[in-house]
Amino acid sequence: MSDRMCRGQTARLNEPATAEATLPERHNASPTVPSPVGEGWPQGGVRSLWLPSPAHGGGAGGGGSTNMDNMEDDDEHRWPDDLLDAAAVRAWIAAVLPGTREVAGPLYVHQAKEWGVTASFAASNDAGVREVIFKAGLLRLFADAPRIAALLTRVCPNAVPQLLAWEPHGEGSWSLFATFEGQSIEELENQQALQQMARTLAHIQATVAALPQEERAPLPRLALRLLPRLYETVLREVRERSLAYWADEGRELAEQFNLPADILAQMERFQPHIAAWTDELVAGSWPESLDHVDLHAGNAILRSDGGILIYDWEEANLSCPFFSLDRLLDDARDLESLESSESPDESQAQPTATPGGIPYTPAERALRDAYLAALPWGTPASRERAFDLALCLAPIKTAYESVILAETLGWEEGSPHLIAWALGRALPRWRALSPQAAGG
């Protein structure tokens, strides 16, 4: 299983879809014709780094790293004939790109999953041949992804991929993007590049948050106030399915993420604290903006003009913006660990915390500070407190979404891998903010 998890589910697992149980809130209206975004051909280069995103474990106060890609299908780079008709895709690309005479491909399948396909095609017109990126969202969970891409193309055109066209297709959607050029932030292995990436995210989030409500209304949304209810779903999933898996064939998984034998009891002890942290974060009246969901160094490039472009927004939704930095902190810490292993003073990378706060390594703290300083909201102290609270709640959102995706795809064992990963990073943070709960 990869770390591509759903944002935008429509009902809680095993519960009726009542008005209160619909999570998150979504806009269901869809256009019935292809929706071109701008006219003509994309400007700039024709090659991109639009590749499947690797997963990262750990994080501020979290457990160790793991590469969730080890769980992925080896056939993910083959065109899925059982899911998509390549000829129909070529015909659609030709129809939505003005002046196109011929479409060839797929040239390369970047990723093929049960829930989505990304592939390169070549489109020819009188000006020549251009590569374009086709994305198919095959599940209802991701049907609104093009709405986010369309809005970001309009308001942050230099910081995100350019959406060329999209339309609803079945329960999901088809989208077409221009390619882009640059060097992967992951390949740069540079803390300053990670910090620039965080500042770019902050700029995007501040821009979206400042838009009129009617412009944000069509986007998928998961209200922050619902986090305690999401936690109830995760608790039930752990109780009914994950515990048995971790005690048997998933024993090594539980050990890898340092899950205690009394994990369920600990989760229950922290339940009132989850509610209190949610209430405190809601009371801060922080602007709602896009949570990227899968922000890591493999999902951004450094352009030739020095700017950062962030991609793979398919699972994003309107929620607490601070959630987005959770995984990027892993990249800062992992790079710091690599650097410290080559230094005689390995103690420099040890995490420290202010009283009542989450511990951060120096690199994690520098990344957090770069991000928070770029946001125009609140005071520095209030932003830091809100960020700590958000890091305690973000893994709950991740675990919940993995439950919903597993249910949607009919995975009998559920999602014990992602839940273990999420709890492994959450528990140290919860203990740091409420040590009395950790003690029982």
Average pLDDT score over residue span 260-283: 97
Higher model confidence: residue 190 or residue 9? 190
* Mean pLDDT, the chain, whole residue set: 84
Higher model confidence: residue 172 or residue 439? 172
Banded pLDDT at 357 (limits 50, 70, 90): confident
Q: What is the pLDDT of residues 194-225, one digit of tens each?
A: 999 999 999 999 999 999 999 999 999 999 99
Q: By mean pLDDT, which of 9-13, 35-39, 257-261 is the weakest?
A: 9-13
What integer pLDDT is reported at residue 75 of this predicted model?
A: 72
| pLDDT for 282 beyond 80 | yes
Please say whether the beta carbons of 329 and 60 come within 8 A. Answer: yes
Compute the distance between CA of residue 232 and CA of residue 229 in angstroms, rounded to an integer.
5
Alpha helices in 243-345 (DSSP H): 243-247, 251-256, 263-283, 326-341
| pLDDT for 31 beyond 80 | no
What integer pLDDT is reported at residue 348 of this predicted model?
A: 61
Banded pLDDT at 46 (limits 50, 70, 90): very low
Compute the distance between CA of residue 381 and CA of residue 14 in angstroms, rounded to an integer.
40
Distance, C-alpha 270 to centroid of its chain: 25
Residues 6+ apart with CB under 8 A from 40: 98
Q: Which residues pair with 103 in a beta bridge?
A: 123
Banded pLDDT at 368 (limits 50, 70, 90): very high
Sign of CA dihedral 258, 262, 266, 267: positive
Amino acid at 69: D
Please say whether the beta carbons of 361 and 351 come within 8 A. Answer: yes
Q: Cα separations (Å) of 1 from 36, 39, 49, 230, 402? A: 33, 38, 22, 21, 10
Compute the distance between CA of residue 81 and CA of residue 382 in angstroms, rounded to an integer.
52
Please say whether the beta carbons of 137 and 144 come within 8 A. Answer: no
Average pLDDT score over residue span 42-67: 37
Banded pLDDT at 342 (limits 50, 70, 90): low
Enumerate domains of the chain plus CATH numbers. Answer: 68-185 (3.30.200.20), 187-438 (3.90.1200.10)
Residue the block writes with tokens 């700590």:
388
Residue the block writes with tokens 């070549």:
122
| pLDDT for 315 beyond 70 | yes
What share of the chain in percent tops pLDDT 70?
80
Q: 349: helix, coil or strand?
A: helix
What integer pLDDT is reported at residue 30 of this predicted model?
A: 30
Average pLDDT score over residue span 143-158: 96
Strands 102-112 and 172-178, by their bridges, are unpaired
Banded pLDDT at 142 (limits 50, 70, 90): confident
Please say whether the beta carbons of 137 and 115 come within 8 A. Answer: yes
Q: By mean pLDDT, which of 221-235, 274-288, 344-358 is the weakest?
A: 344-358
Residue the block writes with tokens 């891998």:
417
| pLDDT for 241 beyond 60 | yes
Banded pLDDT at 436 (limits 50, 70, 90): confident
What integer pLDDT is reported at residue 209 of this predicted model?
A: 98
Average pLDDT score over residue span 87-95: 98
Residues 6+ apart with CB under 8 A from 159: 152, 200, 203, 204, 307, 308, 309, 310
Compute the distance between CA of residue 217 and CA of residue 223 in angstroms, rounded to an integer.
13
Please say whether the beta carbons of 398 and 419 come within 8 A. Answer: no
What share of the chain in percent tops pLDDT 90?
75
- Start-to-end C-alpha separation, the chain: 34
Please say whether the beta carbons of 437 and 270 come within 8 A. Answer: yes
| pLDDT for 157 beyond 50 | yes
Q: 153: helix, coil or strand?
A: helix
pTM over 0.85: no
Higher model confidence: residue 112 or residue 4? 112
What integer pLDDT is reported at residue 292 of this predicted model?
A: 97
Average pLDDT score over residue span 233-260: 96
Compute the distance between CA of residue 219 and CA of residue 291 in angstroms, rounded to an integer.
12
**Token pair of 66, please?**
């793991």
Residue the block writes with tokens 């009283």:
355
Strands 317-319 and 102-112, by their bridges, are unpaired
Q: Is the peptide bond before 36 cis (omega within 30 degrees of 0)?
A: no
Banded pLDDT at 346 (limits 50, 70, 90): low
Distance, C-alpha 77 to centroid of its chain: 21
The count of C-alpha atoms lying within 13 angstroms of the C-alpha of 381, restricted to the half-sphere facing its C-beta, is 3
What integer pLDDT is reported at residue 356 of this predicted model?
A: 75
| pLDDT for 41 beyond 60 | no
Alpha helices in 131-226 (DSSP H): 145-155, 185-188, 191-209, 213-216
Average pLDDT score over residue span 296-308: 97
What integer pLDDT is reported at residue 355 of this predicted model?
A: 72
